[in-house]
Structure 1
């Protein structure tokens, strides 16, 4: 419900678009709504605990597709912050 409301609120702010732009508009709206609902700090904390999008979504109280949209909509600064935050997932275990 929360994700649907956020999605529709972005639609309301953006207004109508030409019919031929609807697929692109839906993608842009979904990305903006995900960005509005998922602050980068909370996303980083959730990803620090798990890289499973279902676990992250449950932690953030959104749907997995919103997590995916948020990740695909990262700007370079956000990407770098998350890359650093999840470094421990990339480290090889000590032998």
Structure 2
């Protein structure tokens, strides 16, 4: 869940971009987010909402690490649009061909 949603602030589709980054990271690492912590759900939510906690990044960069980090930006307006994400993913796929 995006920090602004946890803080009950107004939000836009950029909260979905944040979630996309979390899911993309989970797909690449094969790990649930925040597995390395011993925090409970409430503490995880607090740490995420205050920008102090992010899931562990992939060990091997397939070109997605920058996209993941941009999607997690604490400033929702600085997160990429889904059109930009689509373009970035196409470039990553082209490099892997």
- Which range, TM-score by smaller chain? under 0.3
Give the TM-score normalised by the residue count of structure 2.
Answer: 0.27
Give the TM-score normalised by the residue count of structure 1.
Answer: 0.27
Which of the pair has the greater relative contact order for Cα pairs under 8 Å at 6+ separation? 2
Larger radius of gyration between Structure 1 and Structure 2: 1
